[in-house]
């Protein structure tokens, strides 16, 4: 069963950022339905388990979008 989660990345500044995040998170096992809202700097997605969530957070940090909780 998937759970919805939202993170915030202050470095999101444009649609290119949003496309990069969607593309990169889209290939992470256990992550689906990635949505990025540029004005609020929110990254919302569904995850299957805690390992998938940890992978998503680590990947965002790795590609230059460190996240913070709401």
CA pair distance 14, 29, nearest whole angstrom = 26
CA pair distance 32, 14, nearest whole angstrom = 21
pLDDT in the model for residue 41: 97
Per-residue pLDDT of the chain (70 residues; tens, 9 = 90+): 789 999 999 999 999 999 999 999 999 999 999 999 999 999 999 999 999 999 999 999 999 999 986 6
pLDDT in the model for residue 70: 63
CA pair distance 14, 3, nearest whole angstrom = 27
Of 3.30.420.40, 3.20.20.10, 3.40.50.2300, 3.30.70.100, the CATH number of 3-62 is 3.30.70.100
- Where do the H-state alpha helices sit in the chain? 15-25, 50-62
Q: What are phi and psi of 8, to 5 degrees?
A: -125, 135
């Amino acid at each position: 069963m998937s759970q919805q989660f939202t993170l915030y990345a202050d470095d999101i500044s444009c649609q290119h950022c949003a496309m990069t995040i969607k593309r990169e998170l889209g290939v992470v096992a256990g992550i689906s339905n990635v949505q990025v809202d540029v004005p609020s700097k929110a990254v919302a997605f569904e995850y299957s388990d805690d390992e998938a969530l940890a992978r998503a957070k680590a990947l965002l940090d790795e590609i230059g979008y460190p996240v913070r909780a709401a």
